[in-house]
Structure 1
């Protein structure tokens, strides 16, 4: 039989790959179960490989099926993006941009970037999502985000980056802490304190960088709590549940009852990066990068 793969085949495959159940997938697709079975069989004949392992009560993806599922998800994401971009251009808008960010980006460059972007392209649509570094990376690779503002030193090969700001760390302590006004801070003075830190889910490389500060001072911190949210950290510190180490830019923009002690004497610094996929063909990508470069001049 001389079949050709069509989008409907890929759509049927994708739904079945999600459901792993022929009846449920057929119901979602509003087709008969035998009809779905025929479509999948056609695909397997075209690709000359089995995509699903069928048991009496189970359906599983083969290795080839798992690969195809990933590729089909990327394809449909790209088709959705293409649909959105064509629609926006038809409305007279240059594009739509989906941005991911961590909290410190809002306290530094992101507001200025958005103001300049809107000045150049008033009709541009921008969607903002506060997300952890790791989730931003996953979404950038799938073209579910156009840009990410991240703190991580480890990037997939397809991700391009531009450094935005390198800064000191700061110690966050409750208001009127006994050591707040000490002229020369030694982290060893806080050895017995409980620490509240950004978790490894925030960024594995960022977490390792913070832990290297403690290693340099030759003690293992008592980590009481971990979170991915800066405001949660500040609120917990203000309640006396521990102290924290954060990028110093986070002292801006939060109304929390805490003191910040900048750690200028340690060698560790943290960098905020703009990240994007080199495979992303969104027409607004270069515009956004050019605006950032103008700001940094």
Structure 2
């Protein structure tokens, strides 16, 4: 059945007048009458009772009117949704990020994206850098937010932010009361580092700071992710070296302090595959670029 013919039928059924229906459809009346006659021939029943003074729907016409309205509404909805997804205004976007990125600027970036594209469904997950790289390669995710970055020629990348490193200390640590903390004075402390594997990783960045300051930690406690590390700090297992942004979210049992000494800082970088030009992905990259410019400016 021709969808155009259904629209013609519905216009006549609603107007109950061929002249008004033709005006509404912006066509001449004779072609409209021929289209309705063809439709009646197709379905094999009379859809309208015609008289000199008026036309009325037959019972069969009433049934077709109800179905035609539903069919055309669903067709219009399908066109709208298809167009929205194709333009990136709807659909789904899978974003994965390192655990420490859930503090600071990433939630603000996602909020900014959602304000521009509220109908895009977001699937969010926290994983380590190695898993981010694997998932992006295998197309299990669309966006990877890594610290400091993923090195792969197949990825596009946008720097989101740079920040200093600070110390996360148990709140009952003797170090918490000191007015100034020198990194070189931490040699006898237990360092809680993450991730445990694979290596090299962020843990090795911290060990590199220790080496720069002339020592190797007396004791190491390796855990798999930031959340586990900060939990161990909160119960007094040791201290950790973390991005400054995590101090925005207070954690019971943990205090944050700046330190003096070698501080290479860290960064957050947003990645996607170069061959993934889905509008949802490109829109997120564009929002990231504008957000970063505004933040740095």
TM-score (norm 1): 0.65
Per the TM alignment, residue 179 of structure 1 is displaced from its structure 2 partner at its CA by 2.0
Do the aligned partners of residues 203 and 162 (structure 1) sit closer, same or farther apart at CA in structure 2, a change above 3 Å counting?
A: farther
Query: How many pairs were matched up?
Result: 212
Query: In the aligned structure 2, how far is the partner of 1:267 from the partner of 1:169?
Result: 6
Q: Are 2:264 and 1:268 equivalent residues in the alignment?
A: yes
* Larger-Rg structure: 2
1:295 match: 291
Structure 1 range deviating more: 100-109 or 260-269 = 260-269
For structure 1, the 5+ residue unaligned runs are 1-85
Do the aligned partners of residues 87 and 185 (structure 1) sit closer, same or farther apart at CA in structure 2, a change above 3 Å counting?
A: farther
Do the aligned partners of residues 163 and 223 (structure 1) sit closer, same or farther apart at CA in structure 2, a change above 3 Å counting?
A: farther
Q: Are 2:273 and 1:277 equivalent residues in the alignment?
A: yes
8 Å Cα contact 2:112-2:287 kept in structure 1: yes
Per the TM alignment, residue 136 of structure 1 is displaced from its structure 2 partner at its CA by 0.6
Of 82, 85, 104, 1:90 maps to 82
8 Å Cα contact 1:152-1:205 kept in structure 2: no
For structure 2, the 5+ residue unaligned runs are 1-77
8 Å Cα contact 2:146-2:268 kept in structure 1: yes
| 1:170-189 aligned within 5 A | 170-189=166-185
Q: Are 2:255 and 1:259 equivalent residues in the alignment?
A: yes
8 Å Cα contact 2:95-2:143 kept in structure 1: yes
Of 226, 239, 243, 1:230 maps to 226
TM-score (norm 2): 0.65
Superposition RMSD in Å: 2.4
Do the aligned partners of residues 265 and 222 (structure 1) sit closer, same or farther apart at CA in structure 2, a change above 3 Å counting?
A: closer
Q: Are 2:113 and 1:117 equivalent residues in the alignment?
A: yes
Q: Deviations over 1:38-69 (max 9, x none)?
A: xxxxxxxxxxxxxxxxxxxxxxxxxxxxxxxx
Do the aligned partners of residues 202 and 91 (structure 1) sit closer, same or farther apart at CA in structure 2, a change above 3 Å counting?
A: farther
